Amino acid sequence: MELRETILQGTLQVFNVKGLKFTMDDIASTLGMSKKTIYTVFNDKEELFLAMVDYLFDSIKEGKEQVMNNHEMTTLEKIKAILKVMPEGYKDVDFRQLYLLKDKYPKIYSQVENRLETGWESTIALFEQGMREGVVRKISIPILKMMLEASLEQFFQRDILVRNQITYMDALDEVVGILVNGIEAR
């Protein structure tokens, strides 16, 4: 594993424990390396956090590709799976803390929003395939996409999950269940 990826994974571990309050010292300590080494790869905490956002979304994209290439799943199973893709290493991440990003780190929050709003091509193709096969009723894909994006963005904008003691994965599972069962052809 390359140094950059090691640092990103270490950052994730520290984020799980400390949330946004982590320091470069925390990461260095967790990884058993000097801060100087981290600074050879990342100039500051914000750059590191931006890289972590991209790393996460790139991992999600890889997971989506695995679902798309699984020929044993039905179209409806793929739709459910692709909407809930979360890489193994991120399943325990407390994404509920991300609502704090909007005020403290607007640039990072903007990157999260941007990544949520892009990369939908394979998911849209699955919805279209589902409609052709008759397992998904005719729906407006732009509306469904907006509903999904808005749901996820609300998780990051507000402390509703924290206040209600709902994990990010449970919330995502609930949203996907409601949306998919609402579009499933009967």
Question: Residues 98-154: pLDDT tens digits?
Answer: 667 777 888 888 888 788 778 888 889 999 999 999 999 898 999 988 888 888 777
pTM, two decimals, is 0.73
What pLDDT, in 10s, does the model give residues 64-84?
Answer: 899 999 999 999 999 988 888
Coil, strand or helix at 27: helix
Give the distance, in angstroms, between the CA of residue 23 and the centroid of all CA atoms in the same chain.
Answer: 22
Determine contact, residues 168/176, Cβ cutoff 8 Å. Answer: no
Residue 35: closest CA among 50, 45, 49: 45
Residue that has been written with the tokens 């929003």 in this structure: 113
Specify the range with the lowest mean pLDDT, choosing from 3-17, 19-33, 131-145, 157-171: 157-171
How would you class 100 by CB atoms within 10 Å of its CB: exposed for 0-12, middle for 13-18, buried for 19 or more?
Answer: middle
How do the domains of the chain map onto residue ranges?
Answer: 73-183
